[in-house]
Amino acid sequence: MTHRVTVGGHVHVFADLKQLMAKATPLRSGDMLAGIAAASMEENMAAKIALADLPLRTFLSEALVPYEEDEVTRLILDTHDAAAFSPIASLTVGEFRDWLCSERATPEVLAAIAPGVTPEMAAAVSKLMRNQDLILVARKCRVVTRFRDTIGLPGTMAVRLQPNHPTDDAAGILASTIDGLLYGCGDAVIGINPASDSLPVLGDLVRLLDELIRRFEIPTQSCVLTHVTSAIALIGQGAPVDLVFQSVAGTQKANESFGISLSVLREGLEAGRSLKRGTVGDNVMYFETGQGSALSADAHHGVDQQTLEARAYAVCRPFEPLLVNTVVGFIGPEYLYDGKQIIRAGLEDHFCGKLMGVPLGCDVCYTNHAEADQDDMDTLLTLLGTAGVNFVMGVPGADDVMLNYQSTSFHDQLYIREVLGLRRAPEFEAWLRRMDITDEAGRLSSGRGGQALLAAMQGKAA
């Protein structure tokens, strides 16, 4: 269907829904690279104005990526919850924004409609929202998940401890892990990006973290971020796998470039759950996403990267993940050019995921060829902390020596806790208190905390 709007004496015509969505998106380099961005600022506003008048239900009858070609589209439409959708069924996209910002959209109401919100609806309304709207509404959306601790409770923020090492050296990984624990990090997961993809190496890393977690009875979970099929193989070999990881994207073709399908993810979920290693819940999946991944796999179907990112959350949703992490600035400046684009994308991703009922966290990050620096990360971290992000990364000194990019540090999470009064997952917080790493207020204790952890490394560092 053609969309037409007159602004400033010009008639703007949009050939179809995906073109309207792309042109309404805040400017970013990835959409320019794909050749689908608005050609002028007026065209960008004209598209937003046209989009505001579009009934939400249009997205249930007009697929942006063809239903016949794409299992993600089929998943979205075939599992849409019409009853959950009914309170917002009569709204336009613009009216949906007003409704979301209003007092009527309470946390309970938002949780109830989440299964009725498709990724395209979430993406569409986000395109009409300013950063403050994305923060205001996301803050009202609560998504709580559990494995060995409880993540996403109001007033809390968890941290993935990311102890990567360029050669997967066990002592090096343990050193960074203990450093992070001594700063009170690790309640989301202790998660290693391995340099190797060999199963014996991966198995050793899984056992390394399992032994640490068992020895100190840490109420958290481990993950070695490798391909889902490797995790399934490790589980088959009897490795103590807590979380099953996979990178996912918003189209079937992009997921094929990752070597996965929905059925492979289902196998991963079943394998993970079969071990019954969770103590307070069975959310066993950990997904990572990021705007631009479909374009980089030449699998974007002419759809803008922000909408495709929201579709990746639809891929995650049925697998009841513990953690979904948008790795927002990792992909590079050809997709998100500078700090402004990265900050906006981080807020959009968090909002869309939470509105859809998905437990979004964010790797607040950038590469050295992007026009961004640590000041931009401070800004995004502060905004996401305010928006109620479920978790962020904890990387030693913000410098990942394996992946060569900058994220948020152990110190950064201390900063945001102090400024916003954010607590850790309650089970993990109680453990830190028992270990005398933190005091009653959740601050690092001044004295002898964590001596037992350091003693565990004594022989290795000698």
Partner 1 sequence: MLPPDERWAALTRLTPARIALGRAGASLPTREVLRFGLAHAQARDAVHIPFRPEEVAADLAALALETVQVESAAPSRDLYLRRPDLGRRLSPEGQAVLAARRGAFDFAFVVADGLSSTAVQQNAAPLIAAMLPFLKQQDLKLAPVVIASQARVALGDEAAEALGARLVAVLIGERPGLSSPDSLGAYLTFAPRRGLSDAMRNCVSNIRPGGLTFEHAAFKLAWLARQALRRALTGVDLKDESELALVSGEGASRLPIASK
Tell the smallest beta-carbon distance from residue 153 to partner 1 (Å): 22
CB 224 within 8 A of CB 243: no
Q: Roughly what angle, to the nearest 10 degrees, separates helices 305-316 and 71-78? A: 60
Cβ proximity to partner 1, 99 vs 415, nearer residue: 415
Residues 265, 223: Cα–Cα separation, whole Å: 16
Cβ proximity to partner 1, 73 vs 406, nearer residue: 406
Tell the smallest beta-carbon distance from residue 307 to partner 1 (Å): 21
Q: Which of 141, 438, 123 is nearest to 250 (CA)?
A: 123
Structure tokens at 239: 């490795």
Residues 168, 164: Cα–Cα separation, whole Å: 7
CB 156 within 8 A of CB 423: yes
The residue from 113, 182, 362, 422 that contacts partner 1 (CB under 8 A) is: 182
Site for partner 1 in 432-461 (CB under 8 A): 443-444, 448, 450-451, 454-455, 457-458, 460-461
Which one-letter amino acid corresponds to residue 423?
R
Q: Which of 311, 305, 285, 307 is nearest to 293 (CA)?
A: 305
Strand 150-151 with 405-406, pairing: unpaired
Cα 426 to chain centroid distance, Å, stands at 21
Tell the smallest beta-carbon distance from residue 460 to partner 1 (Å): 7
The residue from 42, 197, 217, 399 that contacts partner 1 (CB under 8 A) is: 399
Site for partner 1 in 154-173 (CB under 8 A): 163-166, 169, 171-173
Cβ proximity to partner 1, 279 vs 368, nearer residue: 368
Site string for partner 1, 121-160 (x = CB under 8 A): ----------------------------------------
Q: Degrees (nearest 5) of the Cα angle 139, 143, 352?
A: 60
The residue from 63, 174, 202, 241 that contacts partner 1 (CB under 8 A) is: 174
Site size toward partner 1 (CB under 8 A) is: 53
Site for partner 1 in 298-357 (CB under 8 A): 332-334, 337
Site string for partner 1, 357-376 (x = CB under 8 A): ----------xxx---xx--
CB 372 within 8 A of CB 336: no
> What number of residues does the chain have?
462
CB 107 within 8 A of CB 140: yes
Q: Degrees (nearest 5) of the Cα angle 378, 380, 382?
A: 65
Q: Binding segment for partner 1 among 96-104, 212-220, 397-405, 431-439 (CB under 8 A)?
A: 397-405
Binding site for partner 1 (CB under 8 A): 29, 32-33, 163-166, 169, 171-176, 178-179, 182, 332-334, 337, 367-369, 373-374, 396-401, 404-406, 409, 411, 414-415, 417-418, 443-444, 448, 450-451, 454-455, 457-458, 460-462
